[in-house]
A and B are shown apart, each in its own frame.
Chain A
Amino acid sequence: MKSIIAVHSYKGGTGKTSLSVNLAASLAKRGRKVAILDLDFRAPSLFSILKMEDSNLWINDYLNGASTINKILQETNGKGLNKGKLFAGLANPSTEAIRDMSAKDRKWEMRALGRLLSLRNTLLKEQNFDFIVFDTSPGLQYSSINAIVSADLVIVVTTSDRSDVNGTSRMLRELYNLFEKKTGVVINKILDANLDSKKEELNKRAKEVYQVSLLGLVPCFCEVLKSQGNLIFVEDKPNHPFTKIMDEIATRIEKNEI
């Protein structure tokens, strides 16, 4: 089933971008046509992870009405994607662009919402994309709420950090519920060494706290940290346990089992 997925979190540094990229790559690996869009205009990072630093067309231009989405999307040259295709729409990392995006008014944000909503028609219907993944900025701000409103599924990435747990559960109650969005939680960077034996218990506890579907439990893998953002595990390390978890989440999204 074709869908738009927004990856969001309450706090920064939870692993949203890493998860977005790996999920998008995992979906593309199955022969799907996928677009990943960086909507974190305050701290753009997709260009760096995908090593597409020479770009000169940005999602900012699309939202400003200065360009079509077709001109902005660039195909990534990911490994092992088989017949699948992964396209990226990057956010402009220049200080001037970040300043410009943070000074937008309500009217601009309303038009930006319209442009994000129209991607369903342009990309999913007309250009036969199967999935659009929005990598959003953390917390409650216009760009991320615009992405949530435009999406079919919201994946919330959280950690076991106390303030993150509190903030995430509040956000679930006061934001996603109000918009009646299908939501799944991924708990990332779990430090528990005996995760396998505690999975059941963690699953139960997470469901009690968040009261939404638990999409995945991701241990804190030293290899992921050591790679310093240089690797896309789904593409570069297809047999790594992190990749396996990403593939499991992608399967559930593909089968709409959330």
Chain B
Amino acid sequence: MKKNDILSGKKPLNILEKIKENLERLNDKMEVMIELQRHDKKEIQSFPDASLDVMTLLSMPDHLRKTAMTICRYGRATAQEIANQTSRARAVESAYLNQLVIMGYLKKERVGRKAYFFADRDNQE
């Protein structure tokens, strides 16, 4: 069986998939670190029960508002899906989305290789 897997290329493919997945996770973590460093940590305030309501959207800087508005409209999306809408680079959207997660406005969930971002409206009681 194992020999067959190697011969058919399944095993190397699985290993490569795993490497790619781990690299993406690393990339996400680095983006968060870069954001934190860029804003000297103190600037990004975290509000444990922050709500992404319209007044919050109004008070956000333009670059974050654009990302947050798109997430509001989609409900749940990956950085790539948001980037397709905003015509900005995936890495840029990923950084903004992670910043919104740190600030407490969005939640992040991993499903396999993909990271989904969403405003947790239903659990806000």
Contact = CB atoms under 8 A, between A and B. Distances in A.
Contacts of A19: none
B73 A179 contact: no
Interface string A149-185: 1000000000000000000000000010011100000
A118 B58 CA distance: 21
Contacts of A107: 51, 53, 124-125
Contacts of B51: 106-107, 109-110
Interface residues of A, number: 17
Interface in A117-136: 117-118
Interface in B66-84: 66, 69, 72-73, 75
Q: Is the interface of B mostly helix, strand, loop or mixed?
A: helix
B121 A149 contact: no
Contacts of A142: 53-55
B53 to A, nearest CB: 4
Interface in B37-57: 51-57
Given A175-B58, A178-B58, A111 B72 contact: no
Contacts of A18: none
B52 A110 contact: yes
A179 B75 CA distance: 17
Contacts of A137: none
Contacts of B66: 180
Interface residues of B, number: 20
Contact of B73 (A117, A145, A175): A117
Contacts, number: 53
A109 B62 contact: no
B122 A145 contact: no
A146 B75 CA distance: 15
A68 to B, nearest CB: 16
B72 A113 contact: yes
Interface in B103-125: 119, 121-122, 124-125
Nearest to A142: B54
B75 A117 contact: yes
A109 B58 CA distance: 14
B90 interface: no
A110 B57 contact: no
B55 A145 contact: yes
Contacts of B122: 111
Nearest to B124: A107
Contact of B54 (A111, A118, A149, A180): A149
Contacts of B25: none
A31 interface: no
Which among B53, B54, B69 has the highest number of chain A CB atoms within 10 Å? B54
A175 B57 CA distance: 11
Contacts of B58: 145, 175, 178
Interface of B: 51-58, 62, 65-66, 69, 72-73, 75, 119, 121-122, 124-125
26 contacts: A106-B51, A106-B55, A106-B56, A107-B53, A107-B125, A109-B53, A110-B51, A110-B53, A110-B119, A110-B121, A110-B124, A111-B121, A113-B72, A114-B72, A114-B75, A114-B121, A142-B53, A142-B55, A146-B54, A149-B69, A149-B72, A178-B58, A178-B65, A179-B57, A179-B65, A179-B69
10 shortest A-B CB distances, which residue pairs?
A145-B54, A110-B53, A114-B121, A110-B51, A107-B124, A106-B53, A109-B53, A106-B51, A111-B121, A107-B51
